[in-house]
Structure 1
């Protein structure tokens, strides 16, 4: 009996070990293995497909990383993939960051000239792990794998597919100016997606450009509204906002409808530079001047007119696609000129207020890149540079959110829920982001 009694715990332990091993194997199978090819350099995130939550040290929170203080990380000024906005969730004054290099107890004034600050090493993981997903890098890795016929690539392709499945049949609409068209073209060209040009007016300041990224049947459309009001510059077509919507955009509204059959999955718009051009040109005519002054502060009446113009544009979009369609206002990137566009800066501030009143969230791209004028290809357009990659990462962060995806402090804590409507997914954090909106 004693011998038999001694065997009972052993069997129990053996059974427990088997169950534990099975559970561990199951858990590990849910984790996506990382590799140099399918993860943004420097960090990875535990994710799963479907509508399940995964374990994370971060709770389910509504945090927009692009609304947090941070900095733009780039390997070089010409890098394509490895670019990210790095929020300062972990304060730079925290002890672990003060110990990144051995200061040997010297005071700050003795180490400020320490050449060990250089070279420009990759940010420490304590910072980088909090950076939002580099979607552009994942997209490019997927395309590179898809274009390779080798069998060894197929596994990596499947792994990447579990992260990007939610892009299938999505639609993005961007309403803006040549800055937006340049950014959209960069995204399309990066995936060899040919661009189709729709009807334009005689001066080409109002235009339509569409591309489709075949790997996911992802449609991206840009509508350039062009000059505003009935007073355009020399050689530009004199048409009102309503006339342009009726003539160019309403007839093509169906081409940007996504899988839901009613609307795009996300709309991003702004009117900053064309609005600025209108007001400075009107002022020049008013004073009978020969030179346009971009450094003049607009008066209150001009700000009122501009906010009414924004409201009219938002109303047009909502009338076309429904009130609950996710809409973002992209803050204006200032000009690469001596004045840098004081008028546009003040119009942008008025737009922030209008968006708060009109229940529209803000994509602060213009604020993040403000000051990076050496990355421009001309006075207004951003060159082929890390700033374009940053724009793509931001856009896909918002697009991921429209599909029910949740990212918290660099962790993809929830993948897209294909059973949720776009409006329901967007509204999970919408009220929080509107409450936190800074004007």
Structure 2
């Protein structure tokens, strides 16, 4: 895998932030700057000194993935970035094409240049997954050099930057509790690192059990537990080859005996971040149960097998009540297992490649769970699905995404929230504070610094 250069804390032309309604005052200073092989500048500087964003949220607490933005997709998928529309975007200089009246000799207004100026690109969130790729490759080279008893090669400035600033990602555990969407994203993350993706489940092994990706040298492990919806038992009509359905039984018979050592790790600590969700399987279970009931009323020769289709009706209110009550127990169960120190986020639900009214059921669950987790559990939302909405060319089938731009965005977001849980602070694409060794494991304290500003349902 080629070495990717970090974009993170590089600094393009200073963006002027004047004329905002609250007269935000800007102060920018440099901490350090190094040059990397491609000529790109790697810069970390003090973040904006303004006290708040839009008069409500401190700049240090703005979540770039919750802000409306632009999905920048260059020719190389590795360059995919989410560019939030900060106030600075609206204070950029006028384009010549905005002149009125339109000069007759200027030609048509096309604006078809697909590149993005550094002044705009530099405000995008740090591409943390690319930083992890570099860090892993660096540690791998060091380890190979040590094993061969050869002198260590001279470090490039990029290597030095990675070595000095990415150690916070070491010895981490991230747990994803969800469905095949989460499993796929974890598999893509693993493949992008050139590593082996492993599915395991003991005597219950199917794709719908557990999976993991361990990054050696860095000692970070990503684990996925497949949640088979909120049903309390396995009906005879269940459509998948699994014997254990309820999350209580799956934890007891699969997750704890098979996968817990990977979630906790040799140090005895972890996980450091949890994403959880349910919804797609709940919707399909209700449809499968209804289909079975209809079939029982027909002669045996007229009965058909259940096929996962594309429903065009929302769920009933009682179905939503059922999911909500079971999801409350699910979250409480996991809090009892892992305690309150671990940041826990709701991973919002994705929709089909061609949605509209076909997504009514899943959107009903998602809207209900957004309200539930924020009001009942004071939980933040990992809203990758909202950013990926409409990226129809990134699907590999009617519901699952392929390995590509949206999967890289998922990986960037995952590490963005781990960075914050580790005590890091990022403001408008710039690292203001790196995680410190003495505080890197104070997950709850680090998370709570901005938590109250970021609990938002963000309706769909």
Matched, 1:399 2:414: no
| Aligned pairs, number | 396
Matches within 5 A, 1:285-300: 285-288=292-295, 292-300=309-317
1:429 is aligned to 450
Find the partner of 1:284 among 287, 291, 294.
291
TM superposition shift of 1:256? 0.8
1:226 is aligned to 228
2:13 is aligned to none
Q: Could you tell me how far apart the structure 2 residues matched to 1:298 and 1:337 are?
A: 19
- Cα distance, 1:228–1:203 mapped onto 2, change above 3 Å: farther
Matched, 1:88 2:95: no
1:196 is aligned to 198
- Cα distance, 1:114–1:212 mapped onto 2, change above 3 Å: same
3-state secondary structure, aligned to 2:34: coil
Q: Could you tell me how far apart the structure 2 residues matched to 1:163 and 1:37 are?
A: 20
Matched, 1:306 2:323: yes
Q: Could you tell me how far apart the structure 2 residues matched to 1:260 and 1:359 are?
A: 29
Q: Could you tell me how far apart the structure 1 residues matched to 2:202 and 2:363 are?
A: 29
Q: Max radius of gyration: which structure?
A: 1
Deviations 1:43-91 (A, max 9, x none): 75416xxxxxx56445563111111111211103xx3321111110136
3-state secondary structure, aligned to 1:33: strand
3-state secondary structure, aligned to 2:166: helix
1:138 is aligned to 131
TM superposition shift of 1:138? 2.0
Find the partner of 2:109 among 114, 121, 126.
114
TM superposition shift of 1:422? 1.0
3-state secondary structure, aligned to 1:412: strand
TM superposition shift of 1:388? 0.7
- Cα distance, 1:255–1:296 mapped onto 2, change above 3 Å: same
- Cα distance, 1:282–1:316 mapped onto 2, change above 3 Å: same
Q: Could you tell me how far apart the structure 2 residues matched to 1:402 and 1:254 are?
A: 22
Matched, 1:180 2:195: no
TM-score computed with the length of structure 1 as normaliser: 0.81
Contact in 1 for aligned 2:343/2:447 (Cα 8 Å): yes
3-state secondary structure, aligned to 2:353: coil
Q: Could you tell me how far apart the structure 1 residues matched to 2:135 and 2:358 are?
A: 38
TM superposition shift of 1:412? 1.0
- Cα distance, 1:235–1:191 mapped onto 2, change above 3 Å: closer
Find the partner of 1:242 among 227, 248, 266.
248
3-state secondary structure, aligned to 1:394: helix
Find the partner of 2:428 among 396, 409, 415.
409
In terms of mean alpha carbon deviation, does 198-207 or 420-429 score higher?
198-207
Cα RMSD, aligned residues only? 3.0
In terms of mean alpha carbon deviation, does 180-189 or 194-203 score higher?
194-203
3-state secondary structure, aligned to 2:60: coil
3-state secondary structure, aligned to 2:87: coil
Contact in 1 for aligned 2:47/2:431 (Cα 8 Å): no
TM superposition shift of 1:402? 0.8
Contact in 2 for aligned 1:267/1:326 (Cα 8 Å): yes
Contact in 1 for aligned 2:178/2:225 (Cα 8 Å): yes
Find the partner of 2:364 among 320, 337, 346.
346
TM superposition shift of 1:132? 0.8
2:60 is aligned to 61
Contact in 2 for aligned 1:170/1:259 (Cα 8 Å): no
TM superposition shift of 1:32? 3.8
Matched, 1:333 2:385: no
2:172 is aligned to 170
2:44 is aligned to 46
Matched, 1:151 2:158: no
Q: Could you tell me how far apart the structure 2 residues matched to 1:203 and 1:167 are?
A: 30
- Cα distance, 1:173–1:399 mapped onto 2, change above 3 Å: same
Contact in 2 for aligned 1:332/1:344 (Cα 8 Å): yes
1:386 is aligned to 405
Q: Which runs of 5+ in 1 are unaligned?
A: 1-26, 48-53
TM superposition shift of 1:278? 1.4
